[in-house]
Each structure stands twice: as structure tokens, then as C-alpha cells.
Structure 1
Amino acid sequence: MVVLFFLFKRKYLFKFWKEDPEIHETLEAMLKNQEFLAPKRYTYSDVKKMTNSFKEKLGEGGFGGVYKGMLKDGRRVAVKILKEKKGNGEDFINEVASVGRTSHVNIVTLLGFCYQGSKRALIYEFMPNGSLEKFIFTENSLIQRQLGREMFFKIAVGVARGLEYLHQGCNTRILYFDIKPRIILLDKDFCPKISDFGLARLCPNRASIISMLGARGTA
């Protein structure tokens, strides 16, 4: 039985490396280079525990679902589960590598991630007021009046400051290609935070031109 166990384990690991060696090597190299800046790595079992087996769903996107969770220290989090076999893992690497480098009041904080075989997840700070989209595209006048013109202006300025930080304030410039109301999240004080860095690109600060292949962002 012991021999069979190790044979199975070896076969599983071989399959994992055979299917996805490039993303694994890229992720490990990125974590090594970032050192203390790297967000915490969790197992898929940890993710299931913190979400209570994905009990409360917050939303759904093309990438997969977002679930409400809680860390051991009591902090609430939003857990973004990426669909299996979704692309080649490029968006996952982009998000961990880019948002993991940031520290700004208008950028959502990436607290951790999970990369275990085909299981991928991103653990973010929880934003109790959800996305800006629901406050803009709604026929409910009470929701619209909840913010008001002055607050909308502050949110717009906050988003602009977040983008300025990404483009000019980081040691490594981060180009953001998909800004829209749905990815602007609001905390308890309606402070806006830019999220969803799957389409972002790292760019050397001195570079004035970056090559892009294919369409970016949302049609």
C-alpha cells in the first residue's frame, strides 16, 4: 500500500508538471523575487474552510465565482475562485504579480492566493458595499441618493488617484487595461478601490511603448 501510495503521488505530480510547468515555474520565480511583498499562499483545503465550503456567493463573472469568507484572525475576505482550464493561467499570474506589488488606499489588497494543481483562488479584503456598478446602473432612486453628486465626485477622484499610482507611483509600472464600474469596489466608507488585475501588464518605468497582442478589456 505504501508503494502504491508513492506511485500514485508520483504519477499525480508528474501529470501536474506535464500539464502546466510554465505557469508553475513563473509563479514560483515571482514569489522568490518578491520575497516579503508576496501575498500568503493557502491550500485549497484552507480556502474551503475560510468560505465554509463556498456557502455564501457574492457574485459571478467570466473568471468564476466570488465567495464570502473569513480568515483565522477574524478578518472578512472575498475569495475569487477561477474556473478550471480557464486560459493558460496568464491572467492568474498577472493578478498575483501586479496587485501583490501594490499598497495604496485606492487599490484593493490581495491578502493571499491558492495555486494547487488546477485549483486557483485569490483572497482579497472584503468590500461591504460591493461594486460601483450597482449604484450607477440602477432604477432604485434610494440607492442613487445614498451616494449623491459629491460622493460620486470623491469616488471618481479616488479612482484617478489609484490609476495614477499604478502608472507612476509603483517601482514597476502597472498598466491597467479594463477600468469600468464593475471592478471599482467600495469599502464601508465608500472609499473606491480598483480590483481585478487579470488584464494588467507590468511595464518598465522607462519604457514609453509596450507591445500588446489581441484586444484588451471589455467590448
Structure 2
Amino acid sequence: MESGVICNKALDEFESEISVLTKVKHRHLVLLLGYSTQGLKRILVYEYMPQGELSRHLFHWKNFKLEPLSWKRRLSIASDVARGMEYLHSLAHQSFIHRDLKLSNILLSDDFRAKVSDFGPVKLVPDGGKSIMTQVASWDVWIRCP
């Protein structure tokens, strides 16, 4: 990300992502290893997720010469995502609403454990708040038959 070229919204999301990921830690949320804001470049460094985005395995598995996901694996991924979202929404010290959960923001490890990523559009739930008004950024249906 080059700050001379990007808009304020992108910079806000960059700062939001750093803010959230330095406050939360869960086995189903992607781990932020570091970041840089020196000069005009903005860099986020995450843990490596070798199986990539879930969307590859559901929509493009033939193109990448992958095996289709079994239903057992799909349910395991769904459970991992649900646990990550539950932590983020209600179990973390501060509660956050993700707002952009989609297939490309779910990353898979070597053993197909899922982690939620992309915390730029996240909103903080006010202290003592049970809910907040927000807009959904996007939505994908992700349990598909191979």
C-alpha cells in the first residue's frame, strides 16, 4: 500500500486492522506478525497460510488442480470460522463486529484449519453495548457442492 496513492478510507482501514489485531488473539483469527508505516509505504505482515483463501477450494478447485473439500472438512472450516467470530464479537476483552466476512477473508492452514482475516472494516462495539448499527460490507454463500 503506498500512502501517496491511496485514499483516506484505505488508510483508516489499515490503521483499524492494526488496532484490532494488536488487541485480539485467537487461534481462528489470522495472526499479525508485524507492520511498517515508514515513508510512503504501508505494510502488514501476517502468518503464512499455505492453503490460501477458502474461495480457491470452493469455486476454483479445478483450476488449481485441488481435491474438492469433503463435507466433514467443510463443517470443520465453518466451525473454525464460527469460533473466531464468536471470540471477536463477544468473548474478546473488547468486542468487535467484523463487517466483511467473505470467502476471500477466510484463510486455510496446512491442515485446513480456518482463520478469519481482513479486519480493516471492523467496528468496535461500545462498552456495555449489546449491538451496534452497521452496514454489511459484503456477503458470500460458501457451502457449495463440489
TM-score range, shorter chain: 0.7 to 0.9
**Structure with the higher fraction of residues in strand conformation:** 1
How much has 1:217 moved relative to structure 2?
A: 1.4
* Secondary structure of the corresponding residue to residue 107 of structure 2: strand
CA–CA distance in structure 1, aligned partners of residues 127 and 67 of structure 2: 39
Aligned counterpart, 2:105: 183
Select which of 34, 41, 53 maps to 1:112.
Answer: 34
Question: TM-score, structure 1 length as denominator?
Answer: 0.57
How much does 1:203 deviate?
1.8
**Cα separation, partners in 2 of 1:138 and 1:120, compared to 1, 3 Å:** same
Aligned equivalent of 2:80: 158
**Superposition pairs for residues 61-72 of structure 1, below 5 Å?**
none
Contact 1:127-1:187 within 8 A present in 2 as well: yes
Distance 2:71 2:136 in 1: 31
Q: Is the 1:183–1:195 Cα contact (8 Å) retained in structure 2?
A: yes
Is contact 1:171-1:205 (8 Å) kept?
no
**Superposed CA RMSD:** 2.0
Secondary structure (helix, strand or coil) at the match of 2:66 reads helix
Aligned counterpart, 1:171:
93
Where is the helix percentage greater, Structure 1 or Structure 2? 1
The alpha-carbon distance between structure 1 residues 121 and 216, as it changes in their structure 2 partners (threshold 3 A), is: farther
- Paired residue total: 135
SS at match of 1:182: helix
In 2: Cα distance, 1:91 partner to 1:157 partner: 27
Distance change in 2, residues 1:134/1:143 (3 Å) = same
Match of 1:90 among 2, 6, 12: 12
User: Structure 2: how far apart are the matches of 1:118 and 1:112?
Assistant: 17
CA shift, 1:210, in A, is 3.0
Percent identity, aligned pairs only, is 34
Provide the C-alpha distance between the structure 2 equivalents of 1:121 and 1:139, rounded to a whole number of angstroms: 29
Q: How far did 1:128 drift? A: 0.6
Q: Tell me the secondary structure at the aligned position of residue 119 of structure 1.
A: coil
Give the TM-score, by structure 2 length. 0.83
Task: Letter of the 2:29 partner, please give it.
Answer: I
Matches of 1:208 and 1:86, distance apart in 2: 34
Matching of residue 131 in structure 1 with residue 53 in structure 2: yes
Which ranges in structure 1 are unaligned for 5 or more consecutive residues? 1-81
* Consecutive unaligned residues in structure 2, runs of 5 or more: 140-146
CA distance in 2 between partners of 1:96 and 1:139 (Å):
32
Cα drift, residue 144 of structure 1 = 4.0
Aligned equivalents of 1:205, 1:152: Cα separation in 2: 35
The amino acid across from 2:72 in the alignment is E
Larger relative contact order (Cα-Cα within 8 Å, sequence gap ≥ 6): 2
User: Which of the two has higher C-alpha Rg?
Assistant: 1
